[in-house]
Amino acid sequence: MSYRYRLATIFLLAFFLDCLNIFMSTMALPAISLEMGLSTNETTWISHAYILGLTLIMPLSLWFGELLGARKLLTLSMALFALASLLSGFSTQFSALVMARLFQGITGGLMIPVGQAIVFAEFPKTERSKISTMIMVIALIAPAFSPSLGGIILDYASWQWIYFSNIPLALITSFLAWAWIKNASFSKQKSIAQKPDWIGLTLISFSLFLLLTALTQYGQAHQNIWLSHLYFGIGILLFVSYYRYSKKQSNVLVDLSLLTNIRLRASIAVYYAVPGIFTGINFLMIFYLQKILGFTATQTGQLMMLYAFGAFITMMVSGYFYNRIGPKYLLFLGVILHSFGIALLYSVDESLTYLLLIPAYLLMGIGGGLAANVAQTNAMIDFQNETLLKSSVLWNINRQITFCVGIAVLTLIFSLYQAFLPLMQAYQVTFITASLLGLLSLFFIQKLPVHTIS
């Protein structure tokens, strides 16, 4: 195996663990809620703590990478990830489990931007679509199969083993990072790690924390609506303060100036329109299918297999067409197909179930797989060396935030419709609204150049 594919293997294993923890751990939440006597709103923080940990540490990952080197950082992060998984499984109190999950997110967040950056640096521009396809295949496999895997673990063991099951793979990844990564892989330009900008770190970290907290509460805890407004307002204020502050600094942690790059900006918009919106749609569909249409959990989970099948097909061919057609037309096609699949959900009722659900999930998978894969490749295609590392941090922070935003925004929209529409209609109109929101990304896509990547 060549060196660059060894690096890709290490990163993909770590990325798989990340996706697994986002999706499989949700299967454990009902059992944890019952055992610890938690409300639904309290239980969601077990998942959100992991995403917050990932998001808040990513701005520091490059500094740690320069300080320790890629080999030590990736080895240590996966070893600590195994420890955090052990602590999560042994937690007997809610607060301890939330802190263990936060720690688990922090250890995973240390590795992802650095791992992706060193892998992309080893692949020339014309071949980055290959590694992007691998990344998106992993991003499909995890949500498609992890609910079933989590269910098996819960049926034959206990919720603790969902966390314990991460330990072997984390330790294997840690060993491979130590054995395969060369010491000079991380930074070819800097021999001395610069101290992080602690003022900027404080501003961006608290901004992200408050905004994610507000979005979560908007969708789940309407009795605290004014507190959510306060969190959101302060979060926006801190974000604006960080933006103004960062423009005066030469060594920023999250370089928002990179958003002037048209490809990165369009790719971020697509990620909100596709993976972000689908995450929210999938969340609502679980309740719609089971509470309104009487589906079982197994039947609901099987629909994700259709989505994964459709996405897998397009991901296998998108790399071929990326260098021939270019990202603009592929993103147009992917977003339109994805939005049309969501729009089909409007007509799904007791009389038209599988007749519409099957093409809807296939179209969402085909369009979503195409758009997400092309966006992943397109986002960092113009960056090299230090800017590639910084763009990796910005891109991965965005990737984590889209999951929270998708669920929070669509849940909030559904709750507003529910106030004056019958329950089934509220769901259906929310689906139509989501499909239209996805089309807003076409405004950013149409600004992309038509020519292909060379």
Q: Domain 1-186, CATH 1.20.1250.20 — does that match?
A: yes
Instruction: Output the pLDDT for position 107.
Output: 93
Query: Residues 103-147: pLDDT tens digits?
Result: 999 998 888 878 887 887 787 777 766 777 777 678 767 766 776
Judged against a pLDDT cut of 50, whether residue 300 lies above it is answered with yes
Instruction: Output the pLDDT for position 41.
Output: 58
CA dihedral over 169, 388, 398, 381, signed as positive or negative: negative
Query: Residues 157-186: pLDDT tens digits?
Result: 888 998 999 999 999 999 999 999 886 545
The model's pTM? 0.74
Query: Residues 205-240: pLDDT tens digits?
Result: 788 778 877 876 765 545 567 888 898 999 999 989
Are 423 and 292 contacting, i.e. CB atoms less than 8 angstroms apart?
yes
pLDDT level of residue 189 (50, 70, 90 thresholds): very low
Instruction: Output the pLDDT for position 403.
Output: 77
Judged against a pLDDT cut of 80, whether residue 252 lies above it is answered with no
Instruction: Output the pLDDT for position 452.
Output: 55
Instruction: Output the pLDDT for position 192.
Output: 41
Instruction: Output the pLDDT for position 167.
Output: 95
Query: Residues 55-89: pLDDT tens digits?
Result: 778 777 877 887 888 889 999 999 999 999 999 99
In angstroms, rounded to a whole number, what is the distance separating the alpha carbons of residues 269 and 440?
8
Judged against a pLDDT cut of 50, whether residue 340 lies above it is answered with yes
Domain boundaries, the chain: 1-186, 197-252, 258-454
Q: Do domains 1-186 and 258-454 have the same CATH topology?
A: yes
* H-helix segments, 24-39: 29-36
Q: Which CATH superfamily is domain 258-454 in?
A: MFS general substrate transporter like domains (1.20.1250.20)
Judged against a pLDDT cut of 60, whether residue 343 lies above it is answered with yes
Instruction: Output the pLDDT for position 185.
Output: 47
In angstroms, rounded to a whole number, what is the distance separating the alpha carbons of residues 21 and 109?
12
Are 330 and 374 contacting, i.e. CB atoms less than 8 angstroms apart?
yes
161: left (phi > 0), else alpha (psi -120 to 50), else beta? Answer: alpha
